[in-house]
A and B are shown apart, each in its own frame.
Chain A
Amino acid sequence: MMLKIILNKENIARFIFLAAAYVAVACVILICVFLFTQGVPPIAKIGLGDFLFGEKWKPSQNLYGILPMTLASIYTTVGAIVIGAPIGILTATFLSYFCPQWLYKVLKPMVNLMAGIPSIVYGFFGMAVLVPFVSYTFGGNGKALLTASILLGVMILPTIISVSESAIRSAQKSYYEGAVALGASHEISVFKVILPAAKSGIISSVILGIGRAIGETMAVVMVAGNQAIIPTDITRGARTLTSNIVIEMAEATDLHRAALIGTAVVLFVLVLIINLLFSVIKTRRKHV
């Protein structure tokens, strides 16, 4: 009898733990159900081709093509990676192989602080400092694709730095020692031996950075100009998928509102693909 009661308690606990673990699964299912049931019908109504590849977004004329926004999202993300990835990876290299201990104690918390700064603060800084800077240097009014790329490049730095740093640190130190023993200089050993060894970790840091950049909303809205036209020049304005939702959602109704939810579906699918890439690389790393 006594034994049975104890057994029950264990089982109830096990069930509660199991149920809690499935909350995440339930949330993903709920998100999919709500987004897809409300986002897919309008896409079907507009026509998948017209929606995905339509070049004009003019809700007043019932034109809902999101190609300009998709391209803008891809361009700003590529720009952010071009700017952020080399700087981030090199900074991670500095932190793990060039940095004296006392300096590391100062810089590491600074990287964490950088990750913690709210995107709205980045956006404000971009609006007040970067926009005039880009306008002055490259012409135009400064609210441009380039400005958004620079700002996103800075914003993804902490992600790239911390993930790359742990990848570089987990590369076998004996590789480095071997290279130095063979007469290579400190720099050559780090760049030719350690960085290649940490390659997959560095790549996953970049993919995480891509995910951050493509999903960022508020900071981009504040600096990108937000014209819903196909971006042709990096010094001209552009509107990303995320900005499109945030700008128009407040006053949208009917098909317009539904088309914005459709935009979120496209964004969601893009992010799922990026996540999939990330987990493929992660599992491949485990096998090595």
Chain B
Amino acid sequence: MSKSVILRSLVYLATGLTFFSLIGIVLYVLIGGIPYLSPELFSWNYNSENVSLMPSLVNTFLTVILSLVISVPIGILAAVFLIEYADLGVAAKSKIVRCFVSVIRIAADTLAGIPSIVYGLFGMLIFVTFFHWGYSLLAGGLTMAIMTLPVIQRTTEEALISVPMNYREGAFALGAGKLRTVTHVVLPTAIPGILSGVILAIGRVVGETAALIFTAGTVAQIPTSVFDSSRTLSVHMYNLSVEGLHTHEAMATGVVLLIVVVIINWLSELVANKIRPVK
């Protein structure tokens, strides 16, 4: 057997293994969970009889909204500063500006690398204990906001970089100031790229477990205020599977989670296809 054939078969084998495991996981959850997707699972109130996932689904939605309301504006504004004011600004060549900018970038990179369990402990120490909010939607949402900030910031930076330079020059030539150029020309052009970052961040929050157990807690009810504990869908699935009493319901929850993830991926695909013509 020649070397080429061996290499080629290795490549095929690895690819096969990758997609075999993915398909295995998806099929396992679908086959195991779909038969248990009963109407009771979607009843409005949770009790130990129906183990409804509806409150958790609503809580997931609330947590996503709350965290994105905070991280999206901050992330976008920060990226605008880094690209439009620092990298492309008049003072871009000055050493001090370069230094400040690299500190900000290092900070964002550090945030992106911190394990979710560390976020969970931090959120617990500051929001739950130090601010006395207890396990609450607000504590969970804020922790998720910090966790998703680097995602939004980075993807927005990428989106701003890909806005052609002559758009900015055109705006300046027409007499627009820096701010007007950014808000009326650069940002609208970058929207698809920013959106894909937002969708990525939604996926992060939906899939998060470790950080939310210690901040948002595990009460499976729809909160009446932001200071109530709220269990998200992933936490719900974790609780069901470690309790060991409701394995079938855990699988059914897994199906709902997978469906949410597929929808998120499909949306980001849709948005990504919109970006290409701009480039």
Chain A interface, >50% SS class: helix
State which size class the interface on A falls in: 35 or more
With a cutoff of 8 Å between Cβ atoms, the chain A residues found around residue B178 in the complex are 10, 13-14
Q: Mark B194-234, 1 if CB is under 8 A from A, else 0.
A: 00000000010011111001100000000000000000001
Contact A35 B122 (CB under 8 A): yes
Does A181 touch B at the CB level, under 8 Å?
no
Kindly report which residue of chain A lies nearest to residue B125, judged by CB atoms. Answer: A34
Binds B, one of A135-143, A209-217, A230-238: A209-217
Does A91 touch B at the CB level, under 8 Å?
yes
Contact A31 B150 (CB under 8 A): no
State which size class the interface on B falls in: 35 or more
Within 8 A of B (CB), among A78-92: 86-91
Partner of A246, one of B109, B111, B210, B269: B210
Does A48 touch B at the CB level, under 8 Å?
no
Contact A113 B81 (CB under 8 A): no
Does A186 touch B at the CB level, under 8 Å?
yes
With a cutoff of 8 Å between Cβ atoms, the chain B residues found around residue A28 in the complex are 107, 110-111
Q: Report the bound CA distance from A242 to B117 in whole Å.
A: 7
Q: Report the bound CA distance from A91 to B8 in whole Å.
A: 11
Contact B77 A20 (CB under 8 A): yes
Chain B interface, >50% SS class: helix
The answer to whether A121 and B25 touch (CB under 8 A), given A217-B115, A249-B214, is: yes
Contact B237 A188 (CB under 8 A): no
Does A2 touch B at the CB level, under 8 Å?
no
Within 8 A of B (CB), among A221-246: 222, 242, 245-246
With a cutoff of 8 Å between Cβ atoms, the chain B residues found around residue A24 in the complex are 78, 104, 107-108, 111, 149-150, 153
- Contact sample, A vs B, 29 pairs, CB 8 Å cutoff: A14-B85, A23-B78, A27-B107, A27-B146, A31-B122, A31-B146, A34-B122, A90-B14, A94-B14, A112-B265, A114-B22, A116-B203, A116-B207, A120-B257, A121-B258, A124-B237, A124-B241, A124-B254, A125-B24, A127-B241, A128-B32, A129-B28, A187-B11, A188-B3, A215-B115, A215-B117, A242-B117, A268-B115, A275-B110
Besides A21-B82, A110-B19, 10 new A-B residue pairs in contact (Cβ under 8 A), listed by A number: A14-B81, A27-B111, A90-B15, A94-B15, A118-B209, A118-B261, A120-B254, A124-B254, A161-B18, A264-B121
